[in-house]
Amino acid sequence: MLEYTIHKHASSLEDVVLIHGFGGNSKIFKLQLKAYKEHFNVITIELPGHGNSPDVDSYTEDFSWKLAAREVVKTLDFLKLKHAHFVGVSLGTIIIHQILQDAPERVKSVVMAGTVTRFNLTSKALLTFGKLIKPFTPHLWIYKLFAQIMMPKANHKKSRDSFISEAVKMKRKNFMGWYDAVQSIETTYTFVQKHAPEISKLYISGSEDHFFIDTLKEDIKSDKKASLIVFEKCGHLCNIEKYRKFNEVSVNFLKGQFEAVKKIS
C-alpha cells in the first residue's frame, strides 16, 4: 500500500489526487495545498520508493510505469474512490498518463505541470551519460547534476532547491529503479489520446522548460481535449516558480470541470 494523506473538505464532494515527481514527495505541492483545500478533498500519494511507500524492489514483478500506476489505482480502491481529478508534476505527469492509458475510467480530469511525454536529443544524451556513470557515482550527485541542467537559471533556484531537498532521503536502489524506468517514458503517452479522448487535460509549463516543452507541444496538438498554458520566464517546476498563477489557473480549471458536470446532470 502506498503512503497517502487525506485533507478532507467540510462539504466538497470532489476529490483531487496529487502525484509528485522523481526523488521528492508530496511536499512539492506545499504551495498548492492551502488553495486546493479551500475547494476540494485533497489526497496526496507517495509513489513507490518515496516517503514510507514500499521500495521499488519489494514487488514480485519488475518495476515499471504500469506497476506504479496500478499501485496508485489500488490506493484509490482502498480509499473507495471510484474516480478523481488528478494533478501531477514532472514524473507525476508520466504516472497520470499511464493511468489515462490503463484505467481512464478512474480519471475525471487532469492538471499537469512540467509535463514529460518524451525526451529530446539533449536529454537523451544526458540520460545516456547518467546510465554510464551511475554504477560508480553517488546517485545524489547524478540527481543534482540533472537538476542543475534542467533548471539552470537564477529564477529556477527555488525550484531546483526544492527538487533536491527531499531527494537526499531517497535510497540508492529506489533511485536506480526509477532511473531505469525513465528510459521508456515514451510508452506512457502512446495511447493517451486513444484511450482517454473525452477527458479534459490542462497542461501548464514554463517557457524555459527546455527539455520538455517542445515535445509536449508536438505531442498534444492533436488532442482536442488538451489545453496548454505557458508561463513566460519560468522553468520546469512552474507550480513552485509561479505558484500564485498556477494555483489560480488550476483551481479555476478544476472548478470548471465540476460546474460542467453539474450542468450536464
d(CA 159, CA 161): 5
CA atoms of 24 and 22, how far apart (whole Å): 6
What percent of the chain clears pLDDT 70, i.e. is strictly above it? 97
Supply the DSSP symbol for 17: E
- Distance, in Å, from the CA atom of 83 to the CA atom of 80, rounded to the nearest integer, reads 9
For residue 260, what pLDDT is reported? 54
Whether 173 shows a pLDDT value over 50: the answer reads yes
Return the DSSP state at 213.
Answer: H
Are the C-beta atoms of 6 and 43 separated by less than 8 Å? yes
User: Does position 7 have pLDDT exceeding 70, yes or no?
Assistant: yes
Instruction: Please report the pLDDT score of residue 167 as a whole number.
Output: 80
- E-strand stretches of the chain: 4-7, 15-19, 41-45, 84-89, 107-113, 200-206, 226-231
Quick one: pLDDT at residue 163?
A: 79
Q: Does residue 259 have a pLDDT over 90?
A: no
Q: Give the DSSP letter of residue 89.
A: E
Model confidence at 265: pLDDT above 80: no
Query: To 5 degrees, how large is the angle CA 107–CA 239–CA 82?
Result: 15
Give the range among 32-46, 167-181, 218-232 with minimum mean pLDDT: 167-181
Domain count, the chain: 1
Among the ranges given (54-58, 144-148, 231-235, 237-241), the one the predictor scored with the smallest mean pLDDT: 144-148
Residue 184 has pLDDT above 50, yes or no: yes
Mean pLDDT for the chain overall: 93
Q: φ and ψ at 155, to 5 degrees?
A: -75, -5
Q: How far apart are CA 32 and CA 96, in angstroms?
A: 18
User: Domain of 239?
Assistant: 4-264
Helices 121-133, 172-182: inter-axial angle, 10-degree rounding: 140
State yes or no: pLDDT of 177 exceeds 70.
yes
In Å, how far are 74, 96, 115 from 213, measured between CA atoms?
Answer: 31, 17, 8
Distance between CA 249 and CA 140 in Å, rounded? 33
Q: Please choose, from the candidates 114, 92, 72, the residue with its C-alpha nearest in 3D space to the C-alpha of residue 21.
A: 92
The 10s digit of each residue's pLDDT in 119-158 is 988 888 988 988 889 888 998 898 999 889 999 899 999 9
Which CATH number does the domain housing residue 223 bear? 3.40.50.1820
Q: Is the pLDDT of residue 195 over 60?
A: yes
* Tens-place pLDDT, residues 69-97: 999 999 999 999 999 999 999 999 999 99
Residue whose C-alpha cell reads 484509490 in the numeric block: 76
Smallest CA-to-CA distance from 60 within 50, 71, 51 is with 71
